Chain A
Amino acid sequence: MSDSKLEELEIRLLLEAVFEKYGYDFRDYAMASVRRRILSFMEIHKIEKISELIPLVLHNKKTFNLFIKRLSITVTEMFRDPFVYKFIRENVIDILRTYPFIKVWHAGCASGEEVYSLAILLKEEGLLERTQIYATDFNNIALNKAKEGIFDIKNIKKYSVNYRDAGGKDSLSSYYHSKYDSVMMNNELKKNITFANHNLITDTVFGEMHLIFCRNVMIYFNKELQGKVFDLFDKSLIPRGFLCLGSKESLKFSTIEEKYNTLGLKERVYQKLS
């Protein structure tokens, strides 16, 4: 057995162990990314072989928590890819406006920066009051951070630029108050957001959505899993509902592609056909 085959086997056993014991399923993740995260975890914790990790994650809850954090946390920012928010403001909002009540699902919201971005946009368009945003993630640590809505002040300058490029109508500073090294998002934004644990791989449909926002989550999945999650989104969207993906993700070659109209190619905004 070659070294790389052996390593593949070790990763498979490790992910199987994590799934069997804790229910977190990374088995259908894009292997190159998972592997890199596992190896970087091993480097930090001075672990030589992947298989040595198995007893550690099975018997040591603390190590497991750190491991799961390393395996699942992604980096995001407020108004990431401002042109996407601008596009939504200019092309999607007016259609959403025609509904008496709007449901938005932000799937894989991580630490929440983009959830608040969307809430700000909806508020400025006068829609937040009649919108219910479901912000979900399978990682409770990230989810709690999102719920708190407290972000590092050192990133605010960049976020403000993004906000402006996204077509912001006010000043980003009207949506948070700063304290020491942090900013805290205003409660009026949080009022209509429900933060909840939801696992895209194991959990199912929980509502009929007008807009699903899921950015830079699919890139971490393999093709098969991508297909399953696209199906889940398709089942969760109302006819003429919108799906917004990360700027390098696409419905191209997916099984639901033909049921959707590409509204913004660069922005990766799709609309379900009626």
Chain B
Amino acid sequence: MSFNKKKYEIVVIGVSAGGMQILPEILSGIKDNFPLPVIIVNHIAPSSDNYFAMLLQEKCKLKVKEADEKELIENSVIYTSPPNYHLLIESDKTFCLSVDQRINYARPSIDVLFYSASDVYKSRIISVVLTGANSDGAKGARYIKKNGGLVIVQDPATAYIEVMPQSVIDICEVDFILNPNQIAEKLNKLAEINI
């Protein structure tokens, strides 16, 4: 009899400028029976509709949806952050939205999600920081690392804009620096590790 409790419980992804190109590429590489929830914070215009979730849905088999207020996080679902709201996670693993001031000029802010996710999931979280033009996500990734979670960054050399992944590397001992095509593969493997 096997107790196949997974080592990791959740994946959080932060991305900014260039995200519309790279996310479909990465998510299409995620296998159809990916067992964990994936939460994405993308810096996106405040007035955007939920077309972002719809666009991603075309690229992957997993269900993609915008995170709803108080919604319970489910496995094998990809959630995107609603534009113009910060996305946080409560200790009962439901979403919490806020319209508090911008952090790092951004709402949603990657740091806000990363900090709150790290507090809930501790060592059982995988974080990924991709292309982007500011340093949002760096402190959050460092916090995740400090709490025993895993940090993956896109190789800045492959990023549309290298500032965001580079700023993580500058302040945090990251676990993996990968090309876009390696990231999905890595996530597929990490998600299957049992305790």
Shortest CB distance B110–A (Å): 14
- Given A32-B89, A36-B112, A248-B82, decide whether A223 and B100 contact each other with a Cβ distance below 8 A: no
Contact with A along B93-137 (1 / 0, CB 8 A): 000111111100000000010011001000000000000000000
Interface residues of A toward B: which range? 20 to 34
Across the interface, which residues of A come within 8 angstroms of B85, CB to CB? Answer: 219, 248
Q: How distant is the Cα of A10 from the Cα of B75 in the complex, in angstroms? A: 31
Q: How distant is the Cα of A246 from the Cα of B85 in the complex, in angstroms? A: 11
Across the interface, which residues of B come within 8 angstroms of A249, CB to CB? Answer: 69
Which of A8, A36, A37, A75 interacts with B99 by CB under 8 Å?
A75
Across the interface, which residues of A come within 8 angstroms of B115, CB to CB? Answer: 36
- Given A4-B119, A248-B68, decide whether A220 and B91 contact each other with a Cβ distance below 8 A: no
Asked if A36 contacts B90 (CB within 8 A), the reply is no
Across the interface, which residues of B come within 8 angstroms of A155, CB to CB? Answer: none
Asked if A74 contacts B100 (CB within 8 A), the reply is yes
Q: How distant is the Cα of A239 from the Cα of B99 in the complex, in angstroms? A: 31
Q: How distant is the Cα of A30 from the Cα of B70 in the complex, in angstroms? A: 9
Q: With an 8 A cutoff between CB atoms, is B88 at the interface?
A: yes
Contact with A along B9-41 (1 / 0, CB 8 A): 000000000000000000000000000000000
Interface residues of B (CB under 8 A from A): 68-70, 82, 85, 88-91, 96-102, 112, 115-116, 119
Interface residues of A (CB under 8 A from B): 4, 8, 30-33, 35-37, 74-76, 216, 218-220, 223, 246, 248-250
12 residue pairs of the A-B complex, CB under 8 angstroms, read A8-B91, A30-B90, A30-B98, A32-B91, A32-B116, A33-B96, A36-B112, A75-B102, A76-B99, A219-B96, A219-B98, A246-B99
